[in-house]
Structure 1
Amino acid sequence: MSKKPEQNNESPANQQIDTRIAAVRDLIFGENIQQYDSEFADVYDKIKALQDESRKNLSESVANIENKLADLESLVDHKFQDLNDDLEKKLADLDDEKADRRKLGKALEKIALMLQE
């Protein structure tokens, strides 16, 4: 057989005792309970404020990092283009008939050093 949950079928005497117990509890602990409730409300408000501030800081940090990455990508692209232009210029300066290997080697070394920076 299944047990049916009790519905509010308390007798008036039980309700009166419960009311008295609640009144005594409020008399003894009323100030403390109100103080605790107030302190808990303050703590919850502070936690909420910290959560909001943390979310704001996180979103600002993510945006900042994304901007820095975009700047870095632009800088790398610009450096690469400069190096490519420099290489093309150096290769054009070399005499087609007499390709000087030393000049080419120095140009490639310079490009390698620039890439390492």
Structure 2
Amino acid sequence: MEKKLEKSKAPETTQEVDSRIAAVRDLIFGENIQQYNSEFADVYDKIKALQNETKSNLSDAISNLENKLADLESLMDHKFQDLNDDLDKRLADLDDEKADRRKLGKALEKIALMLQE
């Protein structure tokens, strides 16, 4: 039983000592601690403001990059379509030129036949 009483007295004594130490600390360093707490609060506020600003800047940069990528994709699609159209036109022109050669060849054969007669 005595051990139980001693154990219950020990926390009370510790709390008394802690409160006395806190009181002495507040008397000696009270002003400085308040000033430090105020400065720390200002630093934490600045850090939070910078974090918010950084998040905002990051989201702006991401949206800007997404817009530029979309513009680039659109430009690439447009250029690809232009090149595809140009290729189709050149192929059609080439087919026409070949068709003209065939016609020319047939015409020359007719002329050759006419000359042989």
Q: With the length of structure 1 as denominator, give the TM-score of the two structures.
A: 0.68
Say how many residue pairs are matched.
93
Letter in 2 for 1:79: K
Relative contact order: is structure 1 or structure 2 higher (C-alpha 8 Å, sep ≥ 6)?
1
Aligned partner of 1:26 in structure 2 is: 26
> 2 CA distance for matches of 1:71 and 1:8?
76
Structure 1 runs not aligned, ≥5 long: 1-5, 100-117
Answer 1 or 2: which has greater helix percent. 2
Query: TM-score scaled by structure 2?
Result: 0.68
Distance 1:33 1:74, change over 3 A: same
Letter of the structure 1 residue corresponding to residue 78 of structure 2: H
Identity of aligned residues (%): 69
Q: CA RMSD in A?
A: 2.4
Superimposed CA distance per residue, residues 7-36 of structure 1 (whole angstroms, 9 cap, x where no aligned partner):
78534x654444333222111100010011
Mind listing any 5+ residue stretches in structure 2 that lack a counterpart?
Answer: 1-6, 103-117
**2:11 aligned counterpart, secondary structure:** coil
Partner of 1:86: 86
Say which of 92, 98, 103 aligns to 1:96.
98
